[in-house]
Amino acid sequence: MRRHLRLLAAATTAATLLALGAITQVTTASAAAEPLSQGRPVTTSSTEFGWSTGAAAVDGDPGTRWSSAAADNQWIRVDLGSVQAIDRVVLDWEAAYASGFRIETSADGAAWSTVYSTTTGTGGDQNLDVDGTGRYLRLWVTQRATQWGVSLWELQVFGAGGGTPTDASLLSYGKQGSASSSQNDGNCWLCSPDKAFDLDPASRWAVSPDTGWVDDGWIAVDLGAAAHVTSVVLQWDPAFATAFDIEVSDDGTTWRTVHSTTNGTGFKQTVPLDADGRHVRVHMRDRSGPYGYSLWEFQVYGTGGAPTAPPAEPADPDFDDLDLVWSDEFNGPAGAAADGSRWTIDAGLPQNNEQQVYTPSGNGFQDGQGNFVLEARREDRDGRQYTSHRMNTSNKFHAQYGRFEARVKVPEGRGLWPAFWMMGSDFLDGRPWPYNGEIDIMEFIGQNPTQAHSTLHAPAYNGGGGYGGAYALPDGSKISDGFHTWAAEWDSEGIQFSLDGRDVFYADRDTVESTRGPWVYDHEFYLILNLAVGGDWPGPPDASTPFPSRMLVDYVRVYQ
């Protein structure tokens, strides 16, 4: 995977700098094993500088660090994404180290177990053998060795990896389930219990607003036969439970509590269990807000039961060994329309309060020099002052996973909004946006010519709250001055966005599920090219906006 290659590159760079005497800090961890903590989400008690964040301690770069405020009882916590067996922790201290600290693990981020403690820490490189399990690992500083705070070049966590036993399987898929109540209205249509067991991260169960917005509520699943339950995964909607029990039953009537918490965090929670029963229930006792309870997914793992095998997903691509599976090089004659075997022209009125109308012809054409032109014009049509072009590969080409790239020259000018993006193909079958998912590989706002954006949109994070990042060229020059290649490398673990071969933003699945909401991208998508005028984000054009304005596309390519 590309992120593994970035780790190797960082390690190689560090070794070179060390040989040159440029740095003196280097981790003692073996290069053969990637830390479980590498690139994982981190929270801290404090940071000393804006650049000394907790993420710098798990980025694999021995030249970046986390540093705390100058006080005792500082801490750094890393989310490993799932419950892991942990056997080693490596600490690479800066000069401001801790003489007293403890290392703790937790399955839920609330109840902690100490796996290592010392009052005679020496700083430097510490390679500590531990024996623990947990999704979260926390380093808690009880005593500083200097008058400053504490600072770590690297915090690395090692273990066998994998929180769910290899012989465990998903037992709850396709089960109907039952619940205290269910919602079915314009705000949550057919939000019945089975939606929590369908492996569809864009469908959910919710309690009824008429009877269920009270502190007590539950959802249960019949596994079909006696089972040994090893873990439960809960992907919460923002209406989550701060206090809940997980219960098992042999008959669906008499329940035994096997897990209890009063510190539910919402988002994705993985709860390790060692319990036997045919029925599993989440009994919710305290709401996080004024609404009820809602779960996108309630997954039960273990052995036994009467499991139904879920549909097989395509294998993750090997990004070092890809084949070109679809492309358009736009080598047609000047004035030729888009290839109808590849593209569907998406004419009509726009969304997002855009001001153009997309025409069925005329605003999109090949220039005879190997480019496709999407041209925005100032002209009256269908009650609008501007026309432009949008086209997509719907019903022509859909794909799941791979590398999707386009070489594009974007136009500069207030109110111009060119984009290269993808929509979940289930949109064509009637699933509304954003439940189908949207992957914006490139968006550009014409009045900000040095910056571009890559963003994901889903039910729990969309519009202005989408999950993404903004970036610029290394030299800060205008992106609109020339052609650039945008790409997304997408697999079941995340999406790496790049500009001209330089990684600019990584959307990690575990991070999204743990901090934003469901990952809704494990299905086919289709490609879209468009040049919008105006809209909620860029605002309207003005007298300075050049018309006609052109978005030029040299090629679009897909590799799998």
Catalytic residue numbers, as ranges: 438, 443
**H or E element at residue 4:** helix 2-19
According to DSSP, residue 194 is labeled: G
- Sign of the C-alpha dihedral computed for residues 250, 208, 424 and 407 taken in this order: negative
CA dihedral 125, 127, 133, 137 (to 10 degrees): 0
| Residue 72 structure tokens | 């005792």
Best CA proximity match to 381, nearest among 350, 414, 412: 350
Report the C-alpha gap between 301 and 227 in whole angstroms: 9
SS3 track for 254-296: CCEEEEEECCCCCCEEEEEEEEEEEEEEEEEEEECCCCCCEEE
Asked if 80 contacts 36 with a C-beta cutoff of 8 angstroms, the reply is yes
**Alpha-carbon separation of residue 16 from 10, 12, 24, 486 (angstroms):** 10, 6, 12, 30
Collect all residues with Cβ–Cβ distance below 8 Å to 269 and sequence separation of at least 6.
Answer: 108, 233, 234, 236
Asked if 75 contacts 140 with a C-beta cutoff of 8 angstroms, the reply is yes
Angle subtended at Cα 323 by Cα 522 and Cα 437, rounded to the nearest 5 degrees: 20
**Alpha-carbon separation of residue 235 from 106, 130, 317, 475 (angstroms):** 18, 30, 26, 41
Residue found by looking up tokens 């997914």 in the block:
297
According to DSSP, residue 348 is labeled: B
Report the C-alpha gap between 509 and 521 in whole angstroms: 9
| Residue 488 structure tokens | 């997304």
